[in-house]
């Protein structure tokens, strides 16, 4: 199964993350991206956050104002069976290799993106297949929009 990178998103802390034309992925995450809250974000097992543009489009069709980067993901990808991207999945992303470590926990700061402030709409526990995922970096590298995202074994 393969897809592609649709957007690479970074910020100096806070939301939304803004698109960039390329990035270097290191064991610490996306170079140039920082987090304000290191208790709940970042670290080696949460170095990169990924989300599906296909899921985002479905949420937009429900009337939510979510967009690429607005929920804090670093890599917005498309073309993958998102429900099958589970902890333990390895992805070849451009020159990098990532391993999904966990589903993210939605934060109340995302409420503004959802009708009725329902930020739990993207919680894995209540809506499987709609969550963002965290990954650790197995191999760093350069990534650009349009690069392939390949599920590896």
Exposure letters 9-34 (e unless 16+ CB within 10 A, then b): bbbeeebbbeebeebebeeebbeebe
Q: Is the pTM of this model over 0.85?
A: yes
Architecture of the CATH domain 2-152 = Beta Barrel (2.40)
Per-residue pLDDT, 1:
75
Per-residue pLDDT, 35:
65
Per-residue pLDDT, 33:
87
Which of these, 138, 75, 74, 68, lies nearest to 101 by C-alpha position? 138
Per-residue pLDDT, 40:
52
Per-residue pLDDT, 13:
78
Average pLDDT, 10 consecutive residues per value, the chain (153 residues): 94 88 95 66 81 98 97 97 98 97 94 96 97 98 98 85
**Neighbouring-strand partners of residue 133:** 50, 103
Q: Which residue ranges make up each domain of the chain?
A: 2-152
Per-residue pLDDT, 49:
96
Residue 110 CA to residue 15 CA, distance in Å, equals 9
Report H helices in the chain.
53-61
């Amino acid at each position: 199964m393969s897809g592609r990178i649709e957007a690479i998103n970074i910020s100096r802390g806070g939301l939304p993350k803004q698109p960039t034309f390329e990035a270097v992925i290191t064991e610490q995450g996306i170079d140039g991206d920082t987090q304000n809250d290191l208790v709940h974000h970042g670290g080696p097992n949460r170095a990169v956050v990924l989300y599906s543009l296909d899921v985002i489009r479905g949420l937009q069709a429900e009337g939510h104002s979510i967009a690429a980067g607005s929920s804090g993901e670093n890599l917005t990808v498309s073309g993958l069976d998102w429900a099958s991207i589970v902890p333990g999945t390895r992805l070849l992303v451009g020159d990098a290799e990532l391993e999904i470590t966990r589903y993210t926990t939605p934060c109340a700061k995302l409420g503004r993106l959802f009708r009725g402030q329902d930020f739990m709409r993207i919680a894995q526990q209540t809506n499987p297949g709609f969550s963002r995922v965290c990954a650790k970096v197995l191999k760093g590298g350069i990534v650009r929009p349009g690069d392939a995202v390949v599920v590896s074994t």
